[in-house]
Amino acid sequence: MRIGMRLLLGYFLIVAIAAWFVLSIFLQEVKPGVRRATEGTLIDTATLLAEFARADMLAGNAQNGQLAQAFSRLNQHNFQANIGGITKSRNEYRVYLTDAKGIVLFDSSGKATGQDYSRWNDVWLTLQGKYGARSTPVNANKPESTVMYVAAPVRDGVNIVGVLSVGKPNSALEPVIHRSERRILWAGVALLGIALMIGFGVVLWINRSIGQLVRYADSVTEEHPLPLPKPGSSELRKLALALESMRLKLEGKSYIEQYVHALTHELKSPLAAIRGAAEILREGPPPEVIEKFSGNILQQNLRMQQLVDNLLRQAKLESRAEIIPQPIHLAALFSALCDSREVIAHSKKISLSINESALKDTIVEGDFALLEQAIGNLLDNALDFTRPGGEITLSIENADDGIAILVTDTGSGIPDYARDRVFERFYSLPRSNGQKSSGLGLAFVREVARLHRGTITLENRPEGGAQARLSLPGK
């Protein structure tokens, strides 16, 4: 089972157990909670009605007093009340009044008048000055037919002269209880559904981040490293940096071997030229010969110095795991790059221009020095492979996921055999003047693109020439 599915199941199991625990407590508390609230209402009602019953009892007219007349009129009128979706159309209270001996003087149902209720808890406890209440089934075979009674004392001064009891069937509470239970259950189902959606989203995010790291590791194995991914979590970010650090260390040995081999190969020609010039100078040739071969020595020395500088710059760049991005105005960057190469382009009779209409006030996030050198390398590469009378254009393209910097030329293009190798270190093609470069310029651009989490491509144009595309992600 995949780790994402395990995380989802584990998360859902925890939420389900927690939801079951909370729902069970709520459901267990619904029925007693409703009954406690109803009992509190019955106490208030009984206490209030006891004050009306007091006047009837003192007047000796309990059966036809104000309380009896009120219930008689109440039963003659129907009403409709919608209480939160529950319809109520009749009075459900049963009220009876007993004297100090527990004999029923008045019963709103008309069934118990004259009976002895002194042994019922509500009457017996109240006559003793205690809180009296009871719950008694109407039908012994039906536990749900119970009626809850709450009593209040009828006082004459400090003496208890009677008891007024108010009863309400527990079945009248069932619609409220069932509705509350249904709502709680629906809330629980919604909670589990929302939790599952959140968990699914988190798992997708984790799988996506891990997938990025896996693809990055696979690309390293294939020796074509992708840009270092940028997971949203600090822990995954540390893992990505650890993978990048491991990549750099694992590549170290073969990396050094390649550099040593390339450096040895590249230094052979200038060293041979310097040695040949030195042997000629030892023979004491004429001054014009000395001047010629001294110039050769200086020229080859400069060539070796540039090669070593390029190697050090490339090695330093490839050892970096990340950059600190800053806002860069492309208009200013393009202008500076073209100004620095205007003399070379003019000497080669090449037109170097910027597409101002597409540029506007475009800003990208990145390392200014690295991008300046990378785009400069692309311009130098275009200048080297464009014949006199050609054109080089610097422009941009906006995309949904970022910005693409384009360097377009009308040069000789890329031979088919070299398309897959142009970004390799030390691989180079003959320039328009027949010479070859160090082969590090485009490799440097590839590393800069990787550090900026972008890509670099170099393709031939249908109308002739080549186009380099340096794609950078958006903010």
Structural domains of the chain in order of their starting residue, each with its CATH number? 3-179 (3.30.450.20), 234-319 (1.10.287.130), 326-473 (3.30.565.10)
DSSP 338-398: HHHTHHHHHHTT-EEEE-HHHHTT-EEEE-HHHHHHHHHHHHHHHHHT--TT-EEEEEEEE
Give pLDDT, residue 367. 85
Residue 347 is predicted with a pLDDT of: 87
Per-residue pLDDT, 355: 86
Burial 223-258 (b: 16+ CB within 10 A, else e): eebbbbbebeeeebbebbeebbeebeeebeeebeee
Measured between alpha carbons, how far is 412 from 377 in angstroms, rounded to an integer?
A: 17
Question: Which segments of the chain have a pLDDT < 50?
Answer: none
Q: What's the pLDDT score for residue 406?
A: 92
Residue 141, number of CB atoms within 10 A of its CB? 6
Say what the pLDDT of residue 221 is.
62
Give the pLDDT of residue 120: 92
User: What does the pLDDT read at residue 428?
Assistant: 74
Q: Pick from 168, 167, 158, 163: which is nearest to 50 by CA?
A: 163
Alpha-carbon dihedral sign for residues 10, 15, 16, 18? positive
- Quickly tell me which residue has 């100090």 as its tokens: 100
Contacts of 156 (CB under 8 A, 6+ apart): 54, 58
Q: How many other β-carbons are positioned within 10 Å of the β-carbon of residue 126?
A: 27
Beta strands in 30-114 (DSSP E): 81-83, 86-88, 94-99, 104-107
φ/ψ region of 60 (left if φ > 0, alpha if ψ in -120 to 50, else beta) reads left
Strand segments (E) across 112-258: 133-137, 146-156, 159-169
Measured distance CA(175)–CA(46) in Å, rounded: 24
Record the pTM.
0.44
Distance CA 390, CA 136 (A): 106
Quote the CA–CA distance of 188 and 135 in Å, as a whole number.
32
Residue with tokens 């990505």: 240
- Residues 32-43 have pLDDT tens digits of 777 788 888 889
Collapse the DSSP code of 62 into the 3-class scheme (helix H, G, I; strand E, B; otherwise coil) and give the result. Answer: coil
Contact between residue 150 and residue 166 where contact means Cβ atoms under 8 Å apart: yes
Q: For residues 473 and 452, is the Cβ–Cβ distance under 8 A?
A: yes
- Of 406, 376, 418, 426, nearest to 467 (Cα)? 406
What integer pLDDT is reported at residue 123 of this predicted model?
Answer: 93
Residue 286 has, within 13 A of its CA and on its CB side, a CA count of 2
Tally DSSP H helices, then E strands, for the chain.
11, 14
